[in-house]
């Protein structure tokens, strides 16, 4: 009968931190024959679960795959998209999506492919987009594309090592601000091990698919994590025009926003808009669309004119003039608005009084 010498199990504790949640700890257990299981435990709860990983898989269309670096040694902190203020072009189509992110104490590994000192393209942050295999993670893509000497370690011996950066997004907005982007040498990172211990851990719409380590110039190590960040299906793209900021949703909706605090005059039909949001001054917003429009006046004494369909009109602060027009409209008014200036027009209209003051005009 074939015999095996059983080697002692090896335990590696890997802390994972989740913003606004209890902190779980992931522990990998190697039985000595190459079989690795993972257990995660919520600290202090007594609850634990063991997850066995049998290969990489797909996490759907709304997952973005970067590589996170635990800079401060307290675990990789993940922020759900509900708690995240980051917007990033995760699909490479120019639309920025609200996306789960990492904590301010950690960083992304990135490549400044066009040497502009910014990380803003999808494949500058997700190396998995560099390979044709949709199941590849960032560590796998680093190994396939960028480990040019084939030693399973990414370091200065590889051709494009100098193009890579460490991005610590201190304010979590998804924009590369001054001082956030450093070279690996400036961060004291000498190499990254490209052999991952794989897992399948999820929380708050984010995933961790594997762990590896990076080596610092002083000889110490840190954790690198293959993460999958959940993001909203629809993204937004903003372009500044002479009279407004045009905000386009990837699903097709287009809104016009006042540029800064300036007043806005907008005719939605002629400008190809589905809605408009005014500024601090006197805004004049006119729907005139065949579909329902959203008109928001903001501060100041505004004039909002609905169209032929079911529109939403909100004057905001100030004494506003609201004309619903045809269709079933919803008018949001407050105590500063004069009754004579509120006209629902044709159709079945609803007026909603906002604020704490009564409406008695």
The CA distance from 51 to 48, in Å, is 10
Say which residue, 61 or 330, is predicted with more confidence. Answer: 330
Tell me 25's DSSP state: E
For 123-145, how does the pLDDT look when each residue is reduced to its tens digit (9 = 90+)?
Answer: 999 999 999 998 899 999 999 99
Q: Judge contact between 258 and 277, C-beta under 8 A.
A: yes
Say which residue, 134 or 87, is predicted with more confidence. Answer: 87
Q: Judge contact between 323 and 345, C-beta under 8 A.
A: yes
* Buried/exposed code over 330-340 (b: 16+ C-beta within 10 A; e: otherwise): bbbbbebbeee
CA 113 to chain centre: 21
Give the pLDDT score at 290: 61
117 pLDDT higher than 50: yes
50 pLDDT higher than 50: no
> How many residues would you count in the chain?
361
- For 22, residues 6+ apart whose C-beta sits below 8 A from its C-beta are 42, 43, 44, 45
For 234-287, how does the pLDDT look when each residue is reduced to its tens digit (9 = 90+)?
Answer: 999 999 998 899 999 998 999 999 987 788 999 999 999 999 999 988 999 999
The CA distance from 171 to 178, in Å, is 11
Please identify which residue in the block is written with the tokens 């699909």: 91
Beta strand 275-277 with 254-257: parallel, antiparallel or unpaired? parallel
Say which residue, 178 or 56, is predicted with more confidence. Answer: 178
For 165-217, how does the pLDDT look when each residue is reduced to its tens digit (9 = 90+)?
Answer: 999 999 999 999 999 999 999 999 999 999 999 888 888 899 999 999 999 99
300 pLDDT higher than 60: yes
Give the pLDDT score at 358: 64
CA distances from 181 to 129, 174, 187, 216, 318 (A): 21, 12, 10, 17, 44
Mean pLDDT, the chain, as a whole number? 83
Confidence of residue 360 (pLDDT cuts 50, 70, 90): low
Helices (H), the chain: 122-125, 138-141, 268-271
338 pLDDT higher than 50: yes
The CA distance from 293 to 314, in Å, is 11
CA distances from 154 to 75, 168, 186, 242 (A): 22, 20, 16, 47
Q: Which residues pair with 193 in a beta bridge?
A: 153
Give the pLDDT score at 58: 37
Give the pLDDT score at 150: 97
Q: What is the token pair recorded at 340?
A: 């004579």
Q: Judge contact between 172 and 86, C-beta under 8 A.
A: yes
């Amino acid at each position: 009968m074939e015999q095996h010498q059983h080697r002692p199990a090896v335990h590696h504790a890997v802390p994972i931190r989740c913003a606004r949640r209890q902190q779980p700890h992931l522990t990998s257990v190697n039985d000595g024959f190459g079989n690795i299981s993972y257990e995660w435990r919520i600290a202090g709860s007594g609850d634990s679960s063991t997850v066995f990983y049998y290969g990489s898989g797909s996490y759907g269309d709304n997952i973005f795959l970067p590589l996170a670096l635990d800079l401060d040694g307290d675990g990789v902190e993940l922020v759900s998209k509900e708690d995240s203020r980051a917007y990033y072009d995760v699909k490479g189509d120019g639309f920025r999506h609200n996306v789960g992110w990492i904590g301010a104490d950690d960083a992304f590994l990135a490549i400044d492919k066009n040497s502009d000192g910014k990380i803003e393209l999808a494949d500058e942050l997700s190396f998995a987009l560099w390979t044709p295999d949709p199941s590849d993670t960032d560590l796998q893509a680093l190994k396939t594309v960028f480990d040019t000497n084939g030693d399973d370690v990414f370091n200065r011996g590889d051709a494009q090592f100098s193009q890579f950066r460490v991005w610590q997004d201190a304010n979590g907005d998804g924009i590369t601000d001054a001082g956030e982007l450093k070279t690996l040498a400036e961060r004291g990172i000498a190499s990254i091990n490209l052999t991952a211990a794989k897992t399948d851990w999820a929380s708050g719409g984010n995933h961790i698919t594997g762990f590896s380590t990076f080596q610092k110039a002083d000889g110490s190590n840190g954790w690198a994590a293959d993460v999958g960040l959940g993001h909203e299906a629809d993204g937004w793209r903003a372009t500044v025009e002479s009279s407004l900021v045009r905000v386009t949703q990837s699903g097709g909706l287009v809104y016009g926003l006042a540029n800064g605090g300036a007043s806005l005059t907008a005719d939605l039909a002629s400008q190809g808009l589905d809605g408009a949001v005014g500024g601090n001054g006197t805004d004049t917003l006119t729907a005139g669309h065949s579909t329902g429009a959203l008109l928001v006046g903001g501060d100041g004494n505004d004039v909002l004119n609905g169209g032929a369909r079911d529109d939403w009109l909100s004057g905001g602060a100030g004494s506003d003039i609201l004309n619903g027009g045809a269709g079933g409209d919803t008018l949001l008014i407050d105590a500063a608005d004069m009754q004579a200036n509120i006209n629902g027009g044709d159709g079945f209209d609803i007026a909603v009084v906002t604020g704490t003051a009564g409406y008695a005009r």
